[in-house]
Amino acid sequence: MKILGISAFYHDSAAALIIDGHIVAAAQEERFTRKKQDAGFPVNAIRYCLDEGSVIIDQLDAVVFYDKPMLKFERLLETYYGFSPKGLASFVTAIPVWLKEKVFLKKIIHDKLKEISDYDKGKLKLLFTEHHLSHAASAFYPSGFENSAILTVDGVGEWATASICRGAGTQIEILKELKFPHSLGLLYSAFTYFLGFRVNSGEYKLMGLAPYGIPGSPGVEKYVRLIKEKLIAIKPDGSIWLNQQYFSYATGLRMVPGKKWAKLFGFSRRLPEDKIEQHHCDLAYAIQQITEEIILTMATHVKELTNADRLCLAGGVALNCVANGKLLLNNIFKEIYIQPAAGDAGGAVGAALAACHIYFDNQRVELDRDNMSGAFLGPSFTNKEVEKGVATYNAVYSRFDNFDELAEKVAALLNEGNVVGWFQGRMEFGPRALGNRSILGDARNRDMQKKLNLKIKYRESFRPFAPSVLAEESRNYFDLNVNSPYMLLVAQVNKERLKPLPDNYFQLPLMERLYIERSDIPAVTHIDLSARVQTVHRDTNPRYWQLIETFKKLTGYGLIVNTSFNVRGEPIVCSPDDAYRCFMRTEMDYLVINDYLFVKTEQPEWTEKDNWREQFKPD
């Protein structure tokens, strides 16, 4: 049984190949086109998946699209009708696109597949699954749970913005849905937009900014009160009602009416490069706090409704790892599984799995075990391909035929304060770099966060970095009693590792607070003494595990800094060529690709002009 899943045309296009219930390959289109959050049809991702599985299109039992476009079109028309005469400009912009492209999606899919290879159109089974069922399937089937509750929360699918499901064996039953325009995902995106970040990609920046708000301060309390009084009503089951007078996403070209929000909160929308002030932080804290309250209320209702011991999470809101950490601490469920590609990209996996188990009624594989292969589902490259990929740049490198020696060398480089690009094995699927397309540093180094943000990533200095910690060592550093292989849980740093804070800590200016040393692992300790933890497991990523183990033998510390191998505004690197270019365009010190070590000072002069770097304004 060979099934291809596709998500496309909104954001984070992706493809996934399932063979006999196993996820053989999955990748996002952006990694190949180098266009961040590429929404186009995932031609390159499909080619990769078919090649990885040694499958041609004629051998596929089905191609499955991750939502139902005609239901989405119905929602669009009914929304414009319901809000009329508002939204004329948006209507004139959106409807021609739908009439030209998305209404005729079957033809578009067939035509695009023809670009990949010739096939018998009459024999290809083309299926469409509902958006939130794709999300639910993406989490439940790989979870290894025989039975569980499933909670999906995002912006909007066809009509649903959140759903509660019950998974049992091969079946998923949808129990309740929250409908558009009332949406937790769109609420969070509205604040993302108002605070100067890009919708559908900047939500994690908002989450990272929130801890700079001052808990219990008059500013935070005022914003929480205003949001609950004017914008939102939270129901006992966790469903929400949004006051559409304060939102314009339903029919407008922007998320919110800026003047109305400026009057409500007392300041205008922050532009992307504007300085971040304390009131921005306090508003971010307020909406994060309310988001956590809603998630916990939803989860409590899910428990009441299903009486399940286990919960699966998916949808874009499931990437809010701070809320996930709070959910874990509340012990509502005995176990929680979160799909690592919880956003729309993961819908490709879910669509294929839903077809496999619901439409074709195939039994599940590998129950009691996570079936995502550590999210390492993307392309890998041979040493020969590495040499070919960097040959055009006349790159200088050393080859290590013994990985023990390479691990010892890189551990020593990290210990000396260097920043190392680390490229190994199969690329990760989802938004997180998990040790195969990563930039690494020493978590003990108090200057590492600033160096990585300003000289390597070229991004906002407030952004925190995550620790990669040996799974066996995680409890020595963090208050976390479960594994977190996909970097989707935030936990507090253990108290014995913390350093005393100044009495006036919360009164200090933002930038002064940022660079106060808060623990003995300052590069991964966020301003609220938390960390977004990735536990590294020997069975899923032996090379990365060995590197950190080698670093532990050298320093006594079984963790390092891990951030994604990319710069601001670009996707994570996919190929050796991508990695070398990123290495040379930043102030990274060393690069490792497979068995090869590149030293920055030994490379030919880089002459390519980087306009994006000139546009970056450090805080």
Q: Per-residue pLDDT tens for 126-137?
A: 999 999 999 999
**pLDDT average, residue stretch 344-350:** 98
Conformational region of residue 119, where left means phi above 0, alpha means psi within -120 to 50, and beta covers everything else: beta
pLDDT average, residue stretch 95-121: 84
For residues 428 and 357, state if they share a domain. Answer: no
CA 321 to chain centre: 10
Residue 541: pLDDT over 70: yes
Residue 559: burial class (beta carbons within 10 Å; 0-12, 13-18, 19+): buried
Mean pLDDT of the chain: 93
Terminal C-alpha separation, the chain: 53
**Tell me: the pLDDT tens digits for 390-401?**
999 999 999 999
Domain shared by 227 and 357, yes or no: no
303 & 441 share domain: no
User: Are residue 422 and residue 317 in the same domain, yes or no?
Assistant: no
Convert the pLDDT of each residue in 40-57 to its tens digit.
Answer: 999 999 999 999 999 999
Give the count of domains, the chain.
3
Sign of the torsion formed by the C-alpha atoms of 263, 269, 275 and 276: positive
Residue 287 pLDDT > 50: yes
Looking at the fold, whether 97 and 190 belong to one and the same domain comes out as no
Are residues 393 and 358 part of one domain?
Answer: no
Report how far residue 207's alpha carbon sits from residue 285's, in angstroms, rounded to the nearest whole number: 8
| pLDDT value at 80 more than 80 | no
Burial string for 208-246 (b: 16+ CB within 10 Å, else e) reads: bbbbbbbeebebbebbbeebeeebbebeebbbbebebeb
* Contacts by residues 172-176 (CB-CB < 8 Å, ≥ 24 positions apart): 172/133, 172/136, 172/137, 172/140, 172/354, 172/358, 174/132, 174/133, 174/136, 175/305, 175/306, 176/237, 176/305
Cα–Cα distance, 466 to 488 (Å, whole number)? 10
Residue 221 sits in the same domain as residue 272: yes
Q: Let me know if residue 162 belongs to a domain.
A: no
pLDDT value for 618: 44
Is residue 34 classed exposed, middle or buried when 0-12, 13-18 and 19+ CB atoms within 10 A define those classes? middle
Answer yes or no: is pLDDT of 103 > 60. Answer: yes
Regarding whether 483 and 610 lie in a shared domain, the answer is: yes
Task: Tell me: do 276 and 409 sit in the same domain.
Answer: no
What is the rounded distance in angstroms from the CA atom of residue 90 to the CA atom of residue 57?
Answer: 38
Answer yes or no: do 216 and 272 share one domain.
Answer: yes
- Is 315 within a domain? yes
Q: How far is 482 from 478, CA to CA, in rounded Å?
A: 10
- Would you say residue 158 lies in a domain? no
| pLDDT value of position 387 | 97
Q: Is residue 519 part of a domain?
A: yes
In a domain, residue 141? The reply is: no
Asked, for residue 495, whether it belongs to a domain, the answer is: yes
**443 and 565 Cβ atoms separated by less than 8 Å:** no
Say yes or no to pLDDT of 610 above 90.
no
Range 537-542 average pLDDT: 97
List the domain range (segments joined by +) for residue 413. Answer: 383-615
Q: Which residue has the tokens 């099934």?
A: 3
Same domain, 351 and 400: no
Give the span between the Cα atoms of 495 and 505, in whole angstroms.
17
Domain for residue 491, yes or no? yes
pLDDT band at 459 (very low <50, low <70, confident <90, very high): confident
pLDDT in tens, 390-445: 999 999 999 999 999 999 999 999 999 999 999 999 999 999 999 999 999 999 99
| CATH number of the domain that residue 49 is part of | 3.30.420.40
For 137, the token pair is 């399937």
Give the residue-averaged pLDDT of 305-315: 98
**pLDDT category of residue 2 using cuts at 50, 70 and 90:** very high
In the prediction, which pLDDT does 568 show? Answer: 85
**Do 104 and 201 belong together in one domain?**
no
Q: Would you say residue 330 lies in a domain?
A: no
**What CATH number did the domain enclosing 455 receive?**
3.90.870.20
pLDDT in tens, 563-602: 999 998 899 999 999 999 999 999 999 999 999 999 999 9
Flag whether pLDDT at 207 surpasses 90: yes
Nearest CA to 15 out of 63, 56, 57 is that of: 63
pLDDT in tens, 140-149: 999 999 999 9
Query: What is the number of alpha carbons within 13 Å of residue 573 lying toward its C-beta?
Result: 30
